[in-house]
Amino acid sequence: MLGMFAAHVGPTPESGGVVGGLMYLTHGRSSILFATLAGVSLALISGGNRSTAGEPKGSQTRRIIARGLVVLAIGATLTAIGTPVQVILAYYGVYFLLAIPFLRFTARTNFLIAAVLAIVGPIAAFITSNLLYGTSVLETIDRFDPLDRYSGEGITKIVLTGNYPAAAWMPLIIAGIGLGRLDLTSTMVRRQLVAAGAGLAVLGYGTAWVLGRIPGLALIAQRAGLLAQRRQ
């Protein structure tokens, strides 16, 4: 929560020095952790590690649906009144609703799904949104979308083209569900999670470092970023 506050209302990373370095650490990472913990909370609501694979109970599903709709309404309202920060709550409400089918799976299955979607989801979202950009398809959907008419941020933005599109962020929610299905009271499990987290961090940052030094690839990534900014 402190990281989210720092990212939204704190100094910018460009301020430099120790403060700028700390602000750099909060940007992006706080929201990613927030999304992962949201998945953990969904798993805990639906039984935690005591839950076995299968359809969640009706009362659990109803609570998650109600929570998702309330969060979606709050987020849409904050966006509609022009809140001067990037509001993620409407996205979270949709994440909760999309996460319900994954509550029936075991931790291992959710981890596998999250890993696949983490690779495929962002690429598919980028390609799809660029193919549709400039066409009448997105405009037509937004025109009939009550959420877009109310807040200016409808389902196409929440799923594909917004600041936190579900296509790119659902893997975090699903991974969080997998974490919540583990026995988090076990010392062995916690040690394994620390080791796995460190390994994934090295893999992620290491891969980005290597790819950034491939001739031409950095330019492609820069152009992709510019296209994303232009769409928004």
> Which tens digit of pLDDT belongs to each residue from 75-119?
899 888 887 777 888 999 999 999 999 998 989 999 999 999 998
Contact in structure between 211 and 224 (CB atoms under 8 Å): no
Helix segments in 134-184, DSSP class H: 136-143, 146-151, 155-156, 166-180
Residue with tokens 């066409």: 135
Greater confidence (130 vs 41) lies with 41
Residue 221 has pLDDT above 60, yes or no: no
pLDDT of residue 232: 47
Report the share of the chain in percent with pLDDT over 90.
30
Range 40-49 average pLDDT: 87
pLDDT of residue 230: 47
Residue with tokens 């979202």: 125
Residue 9 has pLDDT above 80, yes or no: no
Tokens for 16, please give them. Answer: 């430099």
CA distances from 195 to 36, 50, 76, 200, 201 (A): 17, 24, 38, 9, 10
Greater confidence (159 vs 223) lies with 159
pLDDT of residue 54: 55
Split at pLDDT 50, 70, 90, the class of 73 is very high
Range 57-75 average pLDDT: 87
> pTM for this one?
0.81
Residue 53 has pLDDT above 80, yes or no: no
Using alpha carbons, select from 59, 65, 57 the residue that is nearest to residue 97.
Answer: 65
pLDDT of residue 176: 94
| Distance of alpha carbon 35 from alpha carbon 44, whole angstroms | 14
Range with the lowest mean pLDDT among 22-36, 152-166, 185-199, 215-229? 215-229
